[in-house]
């Protein structure tokens, strides 16, 4: 056995570490602005709450559409890095517009460009991680990138609070600071991340042709369905902030809600991502749902802000267990040359479901009260558990390691179908992907 090859297959490539720090820097830049933007719109620019909602809704919807097309385009081109650079670059270019904004229309333009950038980069970046990571450490790779991304998500709000106190609530000065990590993120991506190698002579395909989409088999659509149900159970974190306000947390310290959630999220993402490389994905999903049920029940019963923080911590733990895991499952279930498309459709459906979930949560909050919102989340968790208990992906049987390289054997028909395609499409599934 070649020990050097074995060691290389168990190490996370440098480019994935760099992608993680790119995400960290861009999240610092984004959260510096986004944690203050609603207050800036209302108090400085005189915008109404309806205007704030329209800006966020249109921006997020546009990002969802962009994810599908960027993922599909990255599959067609066979290159991920260029689209990832364009996406991060567009988001970085949008940051000065926030500092210069003199009207809600300028903020809308900046927010629109920022979300388009996020939509462009999301699916190609996730597919690039899958392309670069050896299969044995793919879960750890996604967990690492997600963990570093989340570190940026709690550094940003903390930095925003400190700068607002230091500069006497000068929003524009804080927004100008956000330009710096955004530019650093793009530079690091340009010079620190390599494109994954492609098999020589590989032909371009049309990823959205029905013949190619049929290659996204039942295993993939099962992951998409589970991801959508998870999203229904886990609505916008804005409701965590509202719950903390109800619990009596002073307004000045409200950003600490997201800081606490992201701190737990960051701490949990990598260890659970690494665990997913050796443990049943189904068991980890169940664990994540059980933790989310606990978070919902704590938040439903919470009457003080310290109890709310316990629920927020459990929420962050759930995110750390499941988010990198779902990305790993999408990557494992999709053919290598369709991963961008697979992530695009997964993100689109999950994002649209998030809009529905948050609207439903808001309706329940207004009509029945905060507790019923979180009870509904717990019920959706039970629905997801029921689906996982009684539904298996069609066309797949549990696989086991076989042979000196640990390749998994599929059922005969699926193996014949894979072998009938070009060699670059053949990829044995890891033994823990399905079943116990």
Mean pLDDT by 10 residues, the chain (436 residues): 47 88 93 79 72 66 72 74 91 94 90 88 83 81 82 86 84 93 94 75 54 67 81 75 76 75 82 78 85 92 87 90 78 72 76 75 79 89 82 45 37 40 39 35
CA distance 428 to 430: 6
Residues near 298 by Cβ (< 8 Å), separated by ≥ 6? 307, 310, 311, 314
CA distance 113 to 21: 22
CA distance 29 to 31: 6
Phi, psi of 427 (to 5 degrees): -150, 110
Q: How far is CA 149 from CA 120, 265, 321, 389, in A?
A: 17, 10, 15, 32
Counts of helices then strands in the chain (DSSP H, E): 18, 2
Residue given tokens 């919902």 in the structure block = 296
Sign of CA dihedral 247, 251, 256, 257: positive
CA distance 91 to 309: 31
Residues near 369 by Cβ (< 8 Å), separated by ≥ 6? none
CA distance 1 to 8: 13
Q: Furthest-apart CA pair in the chain: how many Å? A: 68
Are the beta carbons of 147 and 269 closer than 8 angstroms?
Answer: yes
pLDDT of residue 202: 57
CA distance 214 to 119: 24
pTM of the predicted protein model? 0.63
CA distance 98 to 79: 31
- Taking domain 11-193+206-394, whether its CATH number is 1.20.1250.20 is answered by yes
Q: Is 406 left (phi over 0), alpha (psi -120 to 50) or beta?
A: left
pLDDT of residue 252: 62
CA distance 163 to 95: 17
**C-alpha Rg value of the chain to the nearest Å:** 22
Q: How far is CA 214 from CA 96, 295, 346, 394, 397, in A?
A: 44, 38, 15, 13, 19
Phi, psi of 408 (to 5 degrees): -85, 140
Of 258, 224, 222, 265, nearest to 243 (Cα)? 258
Structural domain boundaries of the chain? 11-193+206-394
Phi, psi of 407 (to 5 degrees): -75, 140
pLDDT of residue 210: 53
pLDDT of residue 52: 65
């Amino acid at each position: 056995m070649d020990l050097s090859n074995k060691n290389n297959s168990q190490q996370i490539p440098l480019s994935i570490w760099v992608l993680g720090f790119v995400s960290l820097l861009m999240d610092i830049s984004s959260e510096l602005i986004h944690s203050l933007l609603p207050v800036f719109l209302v108090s400085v620019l005189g915008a109404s709450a309806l205007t704030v909602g329209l800006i966020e809704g249109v921006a997020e919807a546009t990002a969802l559409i962009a994810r599908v097309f960027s993922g599909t385009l990255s599959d067609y081109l066979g290159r991920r890095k260029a689209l990832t650079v364009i996406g991060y670059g567009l988001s970085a270019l949008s940051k000065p517009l926030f500092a210069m904004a003199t009207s809600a229309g300028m903020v809308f333009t900046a927010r629109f460009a920022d979300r388009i950038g996020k939509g462009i980069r999301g699916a190609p970046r996730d597919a690039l991680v899958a392309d670069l990571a050896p299969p044995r450490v793919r879960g750890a790779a996604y967990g690492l990138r997600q963990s570093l991304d989340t570190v940026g998500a709690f550094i940003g709000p903390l930095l925003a609070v400190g700068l607002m106190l230091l500069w006497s609530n000068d929003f524009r000065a804080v927004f100008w600071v956000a330009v710096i990590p955004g530019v650093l993120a793009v530079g690091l991506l340009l010079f620190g991340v390599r494109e994954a190698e492609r098999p020589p002579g590989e032909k371009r395909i049309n990823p959205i042709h029905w013949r190619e989409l049929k290659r996204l088999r039942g295993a993939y659509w099962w992951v998409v369905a589970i991801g959508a149900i998870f999203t229904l159970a886990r609505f916008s974190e804005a409701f965590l902030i509202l719950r903390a306000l109800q619990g009596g947390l002073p307004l000045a310290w409200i950003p600490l809600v997201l800081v606490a959630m992201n701190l737990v999220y960051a701490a949990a993402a990598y260890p659970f991502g690494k665990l997913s490389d050796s443990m049943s994905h189904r068991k980890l999903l169940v664990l994540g749902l059980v933790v989310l049920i606990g978070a919902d029940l704590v938040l439903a019963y919470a009457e003080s802000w310290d109890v709310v923080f316990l629920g927020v911590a459990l929420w962050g733990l759930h995110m750390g267990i499941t988010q990198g895991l779902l990305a790993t499952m999408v990557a494992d279930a999709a053919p290598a040359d369709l991963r961008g498309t697979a992530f695009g459709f997964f993100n689109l459906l999950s994002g649209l479901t998030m809009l529905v979930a948050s609207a439903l949560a808001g309706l329940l909050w207004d009509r029945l009260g905060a507790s019923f919102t979180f009870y509904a989340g717990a019920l959706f968790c039970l629905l997801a558990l029921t689906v996982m208990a009684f539904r298996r992906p069609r066309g797949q049987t549990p696989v086991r390691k076989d042979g000196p390289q640990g390749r998994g054997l599929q059922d005969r028909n699926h193996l014949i179908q894979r072998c009938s395609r070009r060699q670059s499409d053949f990829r044995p599934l890891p033994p823990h992907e399905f079943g116990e």
